[in-house]
Amino acid sequence: MCTAVIVAGGMGTRMADEYPGIPKCLVPVAGTPIIIRQIEALKASGFDDIAVTVGHLGRQVRDALGDGAGLGVALRYLEEDRPLGTGGALAALRGRVRGDFLVILGDIVFDVDLARMLSFHRAGPARITLAVHPNDHPQDSDLVLADREGTVLGWISKRDPRPDAYPNLVNSGLYVFSPAAIEGLEVEQKLDLDRDIVVPQIRSGWVRAYRTTEYIKDAGTPGRRGQVEVAVASGLVARRNLRHRQRAVFLDRDGTLNVHRGLLHRPEALELEASVAHAVGHLNRSPYLAICITNQPVIARNLCSLDELRTIHWRLDVLLGQGGAYLDDLYFCPHHPDGGYPEERREYKIPCACRKPGIGLVKEAALRYNIDLTRSWFVGDTTTDMRTGAAAGTRTVLVATGLGGNDGRYPVRPDQEAWNLEEAVARILDEEEDS
């Protein structure tokens, strides 16, 4: 197994009022210092060679952790005589690591199947792989622009002005580096890990994004530390590790998440149904993943391009994010089997397994995120959605928004009915508590 590096040399100014004179990595979360939680998570994935960068108040870190023997690992320290930023200490690893190594920011709490992430990195090619995910505050986070295969195409800094539509895909603070990524670094140079090391290598195509639904959250502010403590106490942090079977609520888009407006093909026309962000936020804090499965024949009909559809989905991300909610992922089918329209794109006018009520997209999501479909749900506003859920082996909820089941395509009965997504989620979570 490769080396792991925990970047713990920061000043910890955001926690200074609540924990004066204590390094941020030693701030307790649910009674255990952040860095000890990190070491325990690394050990659970087989990492026992761990380097810790220390500077400000570093003696406290050394005294608390020692050589790591008490935690079942071997610890070594990379000492900073002066602050080198989040990336400066990595230069000291040149020639000292033979293969890929992990880098973990010292204020995140995580529980991740690191073997999966390493496999993704090595399938590359990549020099740097970022663990990325949506979060409940994309408006003040560093955002990653990546294609579906994981190649990082761009970066929006938290300091940059936000456009009307942007992806809720956040750099989490967990990385895999290959030695080539640090070859040009100078020792004792102050560097920002993202701005000075990661972003310049995006242009060369050497950076990839590993999208995961696992728990990774910055606990470096009082408010976020409180959220993490709740997640730890509820078991959510451990449960989201992809070594465990997951549960999901699959969500239709038009008529369920957003107001049904026919063949929606402009971002400005997208409007959330009432209370949707509140409902999805409840899912985000629950044992269930929130994954959208949607037919989008606007591509086959040539009403919009794939790039324009992506912008529509970014607008959906923005509106949900403004309400403190997010989709764990979104899958769409661009096909439509019926031809005959003069402007149509014939390459998309084909029968396929991904168009609902086909279950190709549900199966793809289940494989990627290790989802147990028998313990999952499908929520939508049409009989097509109900047939999709039943065929996939999930339970189903029909909502009265959108078409309200009046499409009349299939003679199916849902397991539950609800006025809207908020009521549907409440019913699902009530059953979860009773089970």
Residues recognised as catalytic: 252, 254
243 burial type by CB count under 10 A (0-12 exposed, 13-18 middle, 19+ buried): middle
Q: What stretch of H or E contains 33?
A: strand 32-33
342 burial type by CB count under 10 A (0-12 exposed, 13-18 middle, 19+ buried): exposed
Q: How far is CA 108 from CA 28, 216, 397, in A?
A: 12, 7, 36
Beta strands of 170-328 (E only): which ranges?
170-177, 207-211, 215-218, 247-251, 288-295
Instruction: Please name the residue that has the structure tokens 């000890």.
Output: 36
Q: What single letter denotes the amino acid at residue 206?
A: W
Those residues whose C-beta lies under 8 Å from the C-beta of residue 261, and which sit 6 or more positions away, are 254, 269, 271
Q: In what order do the strands lie in the sheet with 416-418?
A: 329-333, 288-295, 247-251, 377-380, 395-399, 416-418
Check if the beta carbon of residue 386 is closer than 8 Å to that of residue 250. no
- Partner residues linked to 152 by β-bridges: 146
417 burial type by CB count under 10 A (0-12 exposed, 13-18 middle, 19+ buried): middle
201 burial type by CB count under 10 A (0-12 exposed, 13-18 middle, 19+ buried): middle
Q: How many CB atoms lie within 10 A of CB 20?
A: 8
- Return left, alpha or beta for 312; rule: phi > 0 is left, psi -120 to 50 is alpha, else beta: alpha
Q: What stretch of H or E contains 133?
A: strand 128-133
Angstrom distance (rounded) from CA 41 to CA 73: 11
Q: Can you say whether the dihedral through the CA atoms of 11, 16, 22, 27 is positive or negative?
A: negative
Those residues whose C-beta lies under 8 Å from the C-beta of residue 433, and which sit 6 or more positions away, are none
